[in-house]
Copies of this chain bind each other. A is one copy, B any other.
């Protein structure tokens, strides 16, 4: 999985019928030091992530292992909202500090 920051949303009316009601978030990938990368992903969200939160994104067939997504033509999904990222003894990210 990759660490990503929720940046925005993508809205579509004309789409594969199975995508109705699926929230699509625009995520920007984050490196292991917490820097925003230029790579992005549009991912289906079922965990209710909000803008600026850090999340884990799964790509490929993993995105369809989520209840309800099994037959959707999606190749990326938010699978977790991140509380903390530790690299060795350093706290790289904490959701609590972020929103304090």
Contact = CB atoms under 8 A, between A and B. Distances in A.
A18 B75 CA distance: 18
What range describes how many residues of A lie at the interface? 35 or more
A49 to B, nearest CB: 8
Nearest to A63: B73
Contact of A65 (B72, B76, B92): B72
A98 interface: no
Interface string A49-93: 001000010111111111000011111110111111111101010
Interface string A2-20: 1100011111111110110
B58 A75 contact: yes
Interface in A3-43: 3, 7-16, 18-19, 24, 26, 28, 31-32, 38, 40-43
Given A1-B41, A51-B88, 13 more contacts: A1-B43, A1-B76, A8-B32, A10-B56, A12-B82, A16-B66, A16-B80, A19-B80, A26-B32, A26-B87, A32-B40, A58-B73, A65-B74
